[in-house]
Every structure is written in C-alpha cells, then in structure tokens.
Amino acid sequence: MIKFMLTGVGIATIACFSACNQGEKKVDATSPTPDAVASLVDSTMNPTQDFFEYANGGWIKRNPIPPEYSSWGIGNLVQEELYKRLRIINEKAVETPTDPISHKIAAFWKSGMDSIRINADGIKPIEADLKAIDAVTTAQQLIQLAAKQNIFTGAMCGLYVAQDAKNSDAMALQFYQGGLGLPDRDYYFNTDNRTAKIRQLYPGHVAKMLQFTGLDSNAAKTAATEVVALETMLAKSSRKLEALRDPEANYHKMAITQLNKIAGNIDWVDFVKQQGIKGNADTVIVGQPEFYTALSNAIKSQPLATWKNYLKWHLINSNAQQLSDTIANTSFAFYGTLMRGQDKQKPRWKRVLDAEEGAMGEALGQLFVKEFFNATAKKRYEALVEDIRGALKTRIEHLEWMSDSTKQKALFKLSKITKKVGYPDKWKDFSAMDIKSLSYPENVAAARTWWHNYEINKLGKPVDRTEWDMTPQTYNAYYNPSNNEIVLPAGIFTVPGKRDEELDDAVVYGYAGASTIGHEITHGFDDQGRQFDAAGNLKSWWTKDDETKFNQRAAVMVRQFNSYIVVDSLHINGQASLGENIADLGGILLGWDAFKKTAQFKKGDKIAGYTPSQRYFMGYSLGWLSHTKKEALAKAVLTDVHSPAKFRVNGPFSDVDAFYEVYSVKPGDGMYRADSARVRIW
C-alpha cells in the first residue's frame, strides 16, 4: 500500500537517544564506553573534503556488513537491541500468557518458529487459492477472484482507505497503481547494467516460483514470459517515482461509475463488493487514471490463461516468506541476494518478529512501553519538539523572500502541528484478530484479514486523529499532512550501549533534534507538505508569487542532488528525493538554532577534543551512520525517495553557513558550494 502522506526519515536513521534534557549534559569523564561520536571518526579524512567519511569512517572500517544484511549502521544496531527486547517479550508470553494479548503473541510466535510443520506443509497453505484460480473460466470470474485475492496479494492494483486529501475529516476509498512484481516501473525499462541484469533474470525467477504451484518446467517458463510481458504493459502506464510525489496530480475524485467508464472491462462496483466493502463507496479517489485504463484494456487483450498465471505468481510471491524454506529461500535469492546484495537470510526468529510487527505490532507495543519507555522520557521529548517548533517559528518570521500574508498562514499551520511522542494514548483493540493455535500461514492470513476489515470499516465514520500508523517499537518517524502531525515512536529513543548521562546536548540536538524532530516538522513545509493547510487539507494557501519563489529555491536543491552519482552511472533523482532533502536541510538548521540556546553551546568547553559546535554536526552525522552494498544502493536510487546516507550528510551540510564557519570550509574543498549555489528555503 502506498500512502504519499506518510513521509518519514530512512530506516538507518531514525533511532534517537534515550533522553535529552533541556539543560547542559554532565558527561562522566571516567565512562567506560567510547564517546558517542569521537569513537566513530576516521582521522585520516579531512572534514572539509568528505564530512560523512570523516565523521563515520572509522566505525565503518571496523564494522563490515554482515552477510544477512545489505547495509549496516546505527539503525541496524538499534534494531538488534529491539529484536532482543521483543524476543524476551515473546518468550515470556509463551511461558506465562497472562491476558488475551499475550496469548495471541504466544500463538503467533510458536507457529512462526515451528519450522518442522512449515516445511512439511510446503505449498499446502495456498493450495485452495491455487485451485480457485484453476477453476476460473471467464473474465468476470477472474476479476471477482482477483478482487478477493487483492486483499492479500496486491495483484492488479492498489486499493486502500485513507483520509481524503481535500477533506481531511472524511475517510475515502482510494485506488492507486500497482500490480507489479518488481519494485518500481523503472525496473521494466531502465537500461543501466544492474537494472538490465535484474530484468533479464526476472522471468527465470517467476518460472521457478510457478513450478512450486504445480506447473512443469516448460509450462512455467512459458507462463513466466507471458506474465512478465503483462506486467510490462501495466508498468508502461505507471507513473515514475517523482511523478507520484505531486499530490494534486495524483488526486482524481470521481463517482465509481465514472471509473467504470475509463476502465470499463472491470465492474468496479462489484470489485469493491468482493473486498467486503458494502457501503460508502459510491465515490472514489483514483491516483493514476491512465493506469486503470491500461489495466482494463489488458483484461480484454490478454489471454485468460496469462491472467490466471499472473494471479498464481502474485499469490505465491506474497506468501513466500510464510511457506517452506525451499520456497522462501528461492524468493530470497532473487529479492534479497540479487536485488539487495544480502548473502543469506536473517535467522527465523528475526523474520518471525518482523512478520509479527506487521501483524500485531501495536499489541507488542503495549508490552514494550511498559518495560522500556516511561512517562518521563515521553515528556522530555515533547519538550524538545517545542524547542524545534520555536526555532522554525523564528525562521519563518525572518524570511526575506516570503510575504507577510503567507507567513501568517505558515505560522498558524506550525502552531497547529500535533506532536505524538512515544506511544498512543489510545490502543487498537486486537480482540477480534483470530490468532490462535493454527499454522503460521493461517495466522498471517488471519492478521491480514483483520487489518483489511479494520481499514474498510473506517469508511463513513469520523476520522480518528488519535490513531498511529507506526508502532511504539518502530525505529522510524513520520509527518502526516492530512492530520498535520509528527509521530515519534518510542523505538527511536534507543541507543544500544549508551546511558543518558553519556550524551551531551550537542550530540542530542544534532541527532534527535535535527535528524528526527526537525526533519519531521520541516516535512510540513517541504514541496509536498506545504500544499496542505493547517487542517490537513490539500488547499493552496500561498500567494502565487511566494509559490514561485519557493519552487525556484527548491529547484536549486533538485539540481544539487541530481549531480550526485551514487553507484556506477546512477545519479540521485533530485526531484523524487526533494521532500526528504528539504527536510534534512531544515532539520539541521532548526536543530542548530535550538542548540545555540543551550548552556553547553554558550560555554564552549570541549569534550573528547571536540567543540560543542563540532559535536553538533558529528551528532547529526551519527544519525546516518551506515554503509550499503552496491546492489541495495542501485535499488534505492530507483525506489526510495530518500537520498543514500552519505548524501544526507554531505549534501545539506554544503548548504549550511554555520558548517562553513565551524570547519573553515573554503573554495576548492570537497564540501564547498558557492554561496549562489547553496539552497535557501527555510
């Protein structure tokens, strides 16, 4: 499911420190643990040439990427700590389940860890669905079955329930492009060597997976060729990554009968009914109408047998990780090893925790916060949010390029941003989720069914603005423009091996204040977020002149990031990554403004040989501590709206005047950009 409104920081970056008092930190000089940032430095590097390698290179040299990962960094270290904590929660639930939640957790964990049963069952868990596909004899039957299986597989298209972008008080049924087996439409067309190799090997992988469904090798090979050709047809009418970031261009509200007119070979009223949606679906929001026209045409032009094999492929592909090791490993060889560079799978217990997070993560979160996150930490980070909000308020007030009328509306929107810190005040009720002593695939299917029903039941009901779209133990964060809110889960406050008293304000303001809180608040005013008003509606509140000036300044950033080569000949997509790049730069500026008010900054005493100002920039860089295999970097360029870690440090730092002053950056240095080429937005 794609939701353009859930923009957040990248996986390796959102872990925050366990606390950040508003006064000066007292650092224990006799602490047995290495300094949080000084221990990472590569002293052979010059910070004015490549700050990322300088600030993080020492750690990167000492910490190779483990074989089961495609990248390794601070986010992985945080996740390792979370894995350990969550495993304890699961094992305790198995030993002594005390309430309905712990009974469900225990049942899910035991079924997922029962590899003997999973391997013995093989393809059995999806046999009934495969037989249903085989029984299809007409296009109408095909569409009805596809609608039912779409709930679990995402075949054909994307369908979800979310707030109406232009009426944030209403939930709406939304149609999005989808139905592809490769991560993005560009995989079907790009000509660079890496992408071309993946595309060349893709039909062979589809054929291997189809053999598990009962096709012999020759039939599977023919079917795979036809399935890939069908997906390529859908990809041709799918929008590029950067085009999906325009909220206005991806908003087409219409009666569902109108969708029948532009995609008439599918009865969309019936399609919706097959998903269990009984009412409140007369009007839908279609993201990319041309995709649905192409899908409709393909229903008529492509043989029924091809569509049936397409459904089989998406059925087994979406369930592969819950099936036998043979099937799961075959899937991993393509998506894990070839596409991401991982040499082996994570151990089963970690994969089960990953699945459990998707199935009932908030139920786990209720137990997690009881043990690992208290009310004091929640209040502490709520206070830091207000520091950052105040910094942005001052910046808006002093903008020279923005008119007073737009400033007043921007300040009003800023004042209305809701902060959600740590964990929800109201928890989801999982009592109806039918997790019990079943097989692992059955429990996963039960969770998927519950989530589908949970989402479609929102139609026609008031928007619940207290809801969280991430779990407390998630190491991520997001800004939701429809709610005008920033959400900062408890998991982002975890730093393995560090106590609160070891972290000085410089590091905390650079890391937690800039790369997370400041980043998310800035999302409310990036190229997407700025188009939503204080109430969360997609509505223009800018003067035309101010809008033009913003776009001109944003274009400078697009050109800057377009110039960066990530791997081989692949450049960053400056337009697709614009929102995240704006948020990175904004976060750095806001964190810096807030940090300058602290006692540590004013005193200027060195810690571990570094000034408070230097430690601030090193602290921000710690948030992006990671290195990534080339395969994963290439995939990220095509599919991720975030720039790779190195460029999330070096890119925005090159636009920050304070960085030039702290490190004496001069013309000719690698980090230098002429003043006229620096990005000046917020």
**Residue 41, pLDDT above cutoff 90:** yes
Which pLDDT score, from 0 to 100, does residue 379 have?
A: 81
Judge if pTM exceeds 0.85: yes
Instruction: Tokens for 269, please give them.
Output: 């009223």
Residues 399 and 341 in one domain: no
Distance CA 396, CA 592 (A): 15
Extract long-range pairs of 26-34: CB within 8 Å, 24+ residues apart. Answer: 26/501, 27/501, 27/502, 27/503, 27/504, 27/607, 28/501, 28/502, 31/502, 33/497, 33/498, 33/499, 33/502
Residue 497 pLDDT greater than 80, yes or no: no
Quote the pLDDT of residue 500: 56
Secondary structure tally for the chain: helices H, strands E: 27, 12
User: Cα–Cα distance between 184 and 339 in angstroms, integer?
Assistant: 12
Mean pLDDT of the chain: 92
490 shares a domain with 612: yes
- Please check whether residue 359 lies inside any domain of the structure: no
Instruction: Considering only CA atoms, give the Rg of the chain.
Output: 25
Q: Is 83 within 8 Å of 401 (Cβ atoms)?
A: no
Asked whether residue 277 falls in the same domain as residue 333, the answer is yes
CA separation for the pair 620, 648 (Å, rounded): 10
- Paired strand residues for 565: 571
Structure confidence at residue 498 (pLDDT): 67
The CATH number of residue 190's host domain is 1.10.1380.10
284 with 417, same domain: the answer is: no
* C-beta atoms surrounding 20 within 10 Å: 25
Q: What is the mean pLDDT of residues 80-88?
A: 89
Sign of the Cα torsion 269, 270, 275, 278 reads positive
Return the CATH number at 571.
Answer: 3.40.390.10
Structural domain contains residue 97: no
Q: What's the pLDDT at 85?
A: 86
Residues 555 and 472 in one domain: yes
Residue 98 lies in a domain: no
**Range 322-341 average pLDDT:** 97
Say how far apart CA 540 and CA 518 lie, in whole Å: 24
**Same structural domain, 597 and 482:** yes
The total number of structural domains in the chain stands at 2
The candidate with the shortest Cα–Cα distance to 566, out of 671, 674, 647, 485, is 647
pLDDT the model gives residue 495: 67
Pairing of strands 71-73, 626-628: antiparallel
**275 and 168 co-located in one domain:** yes
Give 115-173 pLDDT, tens digit per residue: 999 999 999 999 999 999 999 999 999 999 999 999 999 999 999 999 999 999 999 99
451 lies in some domain: no
The pLDDT of residue 371: 73
Asked if residues 164 and 462 have their Cβ atoms less than 8 Å apart, the reply is no
What local confidence, expressed as pLDDT, does residue 501 receive? 63
397 and 248 inside one domain: no
373-429 pLDDT, tens per residue?
A: 777 778 878 989 999 999 999 999 999 999 999 999 999 999 999 999 999 989 999
Q: What pLDDT, on the 0 to 100 scale, is given for residue 10?
A: 33
Sign of CA dihedral 43, 44, 49, 53: negative
Q: What is the mean pLDDT of residues 310-338?
A: 97
Supply the DSSP symbol for 502: G
Whether residue 445 is contained in a domain is answered as no
Q: How far apart are CA 62 and CA 40, in angstroms?
A: 9
Confidence label for 499 from pLDDT (cuts 50, 70 and 90): low
- Could you tell me whether strands 158-164 and 167-176 are parallel, antiparallel, or unpaired per DSSP bridges? antiparallel
Cα 192 to chain centroid, rounded? 25
Token couple for 93: 């639930």
Tell me whether residue 148 is in a domain. Answer: no
User: What pLDDT band is residue 616 in, cutting at 50, 70 and 90?
Assistant: very high
Between 635 and 26, whose confidence is greater? 635
Token reading at 318: 């979406």
* Distance from C-alpha of 405 to C-alpha of 403, rounded to nearest angstrom: 6
* 192 neighbors 569 (Cβ within 8 angstroms): yes
pLDDT digits (tens, 9 = 90+) for 66-76: 999 999 999 89
Q: Is the pLDDT of residue 37 over 50?
A: yes
CB neighbours (10 Å) of residue 196? Answer: 13
18 — pLDDT class (breaks 50, 70, 90): very low
Residues 212 and 312 in one domain: yes
The answer to whether residues 54 and 624 touch, using CB atoms and an 8 Å cutoff, is: no
* Rounded mean pLDDT, 365-378: 78
Mean pLDDT of 530-549: 97
Question: Which residues share a beta bridge with 159?
Answer: 175
> Cβ neighbours of residue 427 under 8 Å, at least 6 residues apart?
362, 365, 366
Residue 368 lies in a domain: no
Which pLDDT band holds residue 12 (cuts at 50, 70, 90)? very low
What does residue 487 show for φ and ψ, rounded to 5 degrees? Answer: -125, 120
Predicted pLDDT of residue 21: 30
pLDDT of residue 376: 75
pLDDT in tens, 484-496: 999 999 878 776 6
Q: State yes or no: pLDDT of 364 exceeds 90.
A: no
Closest residue by Cα to residue 152 from 167, 132, 170, 135: 132
**Rounded mean pLDDT of 628-652?**
96
- Say whether pLDDT at 25 is over 60: no
Task: For residues 412 and 553, state if they share a domain.
Answer: yes
Say if 100 falls within a structural domain: no
Torsion sign, CA atoms 276, 282, 286, 289: positive
Which candidate, 312, 273, 269, 293, places its Cα nearest to that of 157? Answer: 293
* Each residue's pLDDT tens digit, 255-272: 999 999 999 999 999 999
Report the C-alpha gap between 574 and 350 in whole angstroms: 35
Question: What residue numbers bound the domain in which 170 lies?
Answer: 126-137+155-317+326-345
Written as one string, the DSSP assignment of 105-118 is: HHHHHHHHH-HHHH
Pair 259, 396 in one domain: no
Mean pLDDT of the region 170-183: 96
What's the rounded Cα separation, in Å, for the pair 617 and 514? 10
DSSP letter string over 375-416?
A: HHHHHHHHHHHHHHHHHHHHHHHT-SSS-HHHHHHHHHHHHH
- Assess whether 341 and 387 both reside in one domain: no
